[in-house]
Amino acid sequence: MIILGIETSCDETAASVVADGTQVLSSVVSSQIAVHHPYGGVVPELASRKHMEALVPVVRKAIFKSGIYLKDLDAVAVTQGPGLIGSLLTGFSFAKAYAMAINVPCIGVSHLQGHINSVFLEPNPPAFPFTALLVSGGHTSIYYVTSHINAEIMGSTRDDAAGEAFDKVAKMLELGYPGGEIIGKLAEKGNPYKISFPRSFLDKSDFDFSFSGIKTAVNRYITKHSKGYKKIICDIVASFQEAVVDVLSYKIINAAIQKRCKHIAIVGGVAANQRLRNKVKKDAEIKNIAVHIPSYRLCGDNAAMIAGTGYHYIVNGKKSDINDDVYSREIF
Ligand code: KG4
Ligand code: ZN
């Protein structure tokens, strides 16, 4: 079964062709970073307008690169939510019309389930059930995943998402947007033990997160050391990153232990963070738990994960209706 995936939930216009839910024939991602960079964050109206511009060329490119003919497509899968409503509507309306024009079904997909299923686009995927840490700019949650289409939420952030904390700290330090990748690179040159920023574990036995405290702690530190902090910026970001990574690793491993899972998945944009990848692998090895993290291109928003998830929806009998609408908040 060959599926065209379309993703426009935030600031990436993406299209991909995936065969049988696992084989990525093409994956095209057009980023809007340059558009939003001057504003230090995503401007929703600009994002929608840019999706409108990019959708046709991105989809054409994905079809061309995959080597298939339009007549080979069995379905179109598209992100239905959560995300920015204006952005979602561009991709969702486009996908419905496209599917209707080529006479195939159109299936709406959860962006979060898409991220979780991204590990199935890689070799040696996890066995069910497993626990998944979804860490992105909009979400930080832990799930108990029992199938490609079923996941139970075990905990979530009570305030900022981890990626949002990276972005806000980068903004505070005037490092640019989006901050996660920039901080990750700078942190490689810093001492992660230089400053002891607070680790917010909340209740150590549950799986909720809070990242607003650490953001405030970094702000307090740079205000207090306003004259000299720029000289130790690598140490500041390395120490900040270490505090975030410590909490993420602790909670996902404990979630696996509580659910007696032998497999963990780390997905979403922040899963590209090298320190997080290394730390979870190291901590999990001691507990004899296997860790699955997608390659970098599949961590951030992409349409291959949407096409892959669309396949699993279809084979499990999930259907969409032509009257379906997008949604801004998580519903599973
Ligand atoms: O999954 P994603 O592309 O979009 C959302 O669904 O939110 O995640 C984007 C987030 C941004 O906050 C970005 O700063 C963060 O992922 N990010 C990183 C890294 N690369 C991207 N955070 C930490 N370290 C990285 N290397
Ligand atoms: Zn995402």
Tens digits of pLDDT across the chain (332 residues): 999 999 999 999 999 999 999 999 999 999 998 899 888 888 999 999 999 999 999 999 999 999 999 999 999 999 999 999 999 999 999 999 999 999 999 999 999 999 999 999 999 999 999 999 999 999 999 999 999 999 999 999 999 999 999 999 999 999 988 899 999 999 999 999 999 999 988 888 899 999 999 999 999 999 999 989 999 999 999 999 999 999 999 999 999 999 999 999 999 999 999 999 999 999 999 999 999 999 999 999 999 999 999 999 999 998 888 899 999 987 55
Calculate how far, in angstroms, residue 32's C-alpha sits from the geometric centre of ligand 1: 14
Residue found under tokens 């840490």:
133
pLDDT at 162: 97
Q: Do residues 55 and 79 make contact, with C-beta atoms less than 8 angstroms apart?
A: no
Q: 167 CB under 6 A from ligand 1?
A: yes
Q: Rounded to the nearest 5 degrees, what angle is found at the Cα of 267, between the Cα atoms of 189 and 260?
A: 110
Give the Å distance between the CA of 139 and the centre of ligand 2.
8
Which pLDDT does position 283 carry in this prediction? 97
Strands 263-267 and 130-135: parallel
181 Cβ closer than 6 Å to some ligand 1 atom: yes
The amino acid occupying position 15 is A
The environment of the single-atom ion ligand 2, i.e. residues with CB closer than 5 A, is 136, 301
In the chain the beta strands, taken as DSSP E runs, fall at 2-7, 12-19, 23-31, 75-81, 106-110, 130-135, 140-145, 151-156, 263-267, 290-292
Q: Please tell me if the CB atom of residue 166 comes closer than 6 angstroms to any atom of ligand 1.
A: yes
From first CA to last CA, the distance across the chain in angstroms is 26
Q: What is the pLDDT of residue 331?
A: 58
Q: Does the CB atom of residue 302 touch ligand 1 within 6 A?
A: no
Residue 313 is predicted with a pLDDT of: 97
Closest residue by Cα to atom 8, ligand 1, is 269
For 248, the enclosing helix (H) or strand (E) is helix 233-258
Quickly count: other Cβ atoms within 10 Å of residue 159's Cβ. 14
CB 270 near ligand 1, within 6 Å: yes
Q: Is 138 in the pocket of ligand 1 (CB under 6 A)?
A: yes
186, two tokens: 């700078």
Q: Which residue's alpha carbon is at the smallest distance from atom 22 of ligand 1?
A: 180
* The 290-292 sheet, strands edge to edge: 151-156, 140-145, 130-135, 263-267, 290-292
Our mutation pick for probing the ligand 1 site, out of 135, 136, 214, 240, counting the most ligand atoms within 8 A of Cβ, is 136
Tokens linked to 276: 């997080």
Quickly list H helices, 154-228.
Answer: 162-172, 179-187, 212-224
